[in-house]
Amino acid sequence: MVFFLIPVYNEEKNIPGLFKDLSGVLPDEEKFFLFSDDGSSDGSKEAIANYFSNLNYKIIGGNLNKGPGKAFNDGFNWIIKSSTSDKDIVVTLEADCTSDLSILPRMIALNRFGYSLVLASVYARGGAFEKTSFFRKTISTLANLLFRLKYDVKVLTLSSFYRCYNLTLLKNIQKRYTNQIIEESGFICMPEILLKAIQCGAKIIEVPVTLYSSKSLGNSKMKIIKTTFAYLRFLVTFKMHQSTKPNDQSFS
């Protein structure tokens, strides 16, 4: 089974495009689409129910906006409880249609080949931003550099939602961190779970991707200044523990 975990916050305008992208993806795989709603106040949930009604899907989440970290954590926990095989794969991606699903078969194949975490990376050789502001790209580059220097992280992308996780890796993170796969509520949750995966001995590889920001309808949910301060706070407060075994961080 391939579980798709998609956090949603006021993405009503993007749901038709997301359905178009996902409805034909991985045609030979058994798929389940889990939408973790983060307190959407528009018609996101109704749009999901309308478009995905003929597919295997579920919407979880409450009425309060608590951030993508909470949405991801709830989704991971739901999948771990619902999965019937440790061979299951969890694909996480944005709801705004910016993820290039043409690389997903390669990501799935690498996961099954032995890489427990596969990252779609705009920074890997061959990856690119379709368009982004100079300020946002500079902040992202500096934040990634600081993380790599402090925590000896060799992968290039830290914050992308678009990833493939081996279910066993998620269970190991949950066990090691006392049932808290993700504790951070904001966008810093992606570097957090990456560092935890490294601590659990994850074998990691990056696949180049182009971020198609022009496909997204509506405003970005990321608040640059708030997220920047969250990164700085996390750099100071997060404590790395001794790994249980060496990790293998790779490039592609």
Question: pLDDT tens across 16-60, in order?
Answer: 999 999 999 999 999 999 999 999 999 999 999 999 999 999 999
Q: What pLDDT score does 187 carry?
A: 86
Q: Token pair of 249, please?
A: 């961080």
Cα–Cα distance, 94 to 184 (Å, whole number):
18
pLDDT < 70 stretches in the chain: 129-141, 143, 213-252
Q: What pLDDT score does 214 carry?
A: 60
Cα–Cα distance, 4 to 6 (Å, whole number):
6
Task: Give how many domains the chain has, as a whole number.
Answer: 1
Q: What pLDDT score does 229 carry?
A: 63
Q: What pLDDT score does 246 carry?
A: 43
**Mean pLDDT across the chain:** 86
Q: What pLDDT score does 225 carry?
A: 58
Q: What pLDDT score does 91 carry?
A: 98
Q: What pLDDT score does 118 carry?
A: 98
Question: pLDDT tens across 66-94, in order?
Answer: 999 999 999 999 999 999 999 999 999 99
Q: Burial, 160: exposed, middle or buried (Cβ in 10 Å; 0-12, 13-18, 19+)?
A: buried
Q: Token pair of 205, please?
A: 């590889």
Q: What pLDDT score does 247 carry?
A: 54
Structural domain range at position 100:
2-249
Identify the residue whose tokens are 């608590």. 66
Q: What pLDDT score does 185 carry?
A: 87
Among candidate residues 81, 78, 51, 70, the one with its CA nearest the CA of residue 9: 70
DSSP for 94-138 reads: -SSS-S-GGGHHHHHHHHHHT-SEEEEESSSTT-EESS--HHHHH
Q: Are 14 and 94 in contact (CB under 8 A)?
A: no
Q: For residue 50, what is the domain's CATH number? A: 3.90.550.10
Q: What pLDDT score does 80 carry?
A: 97
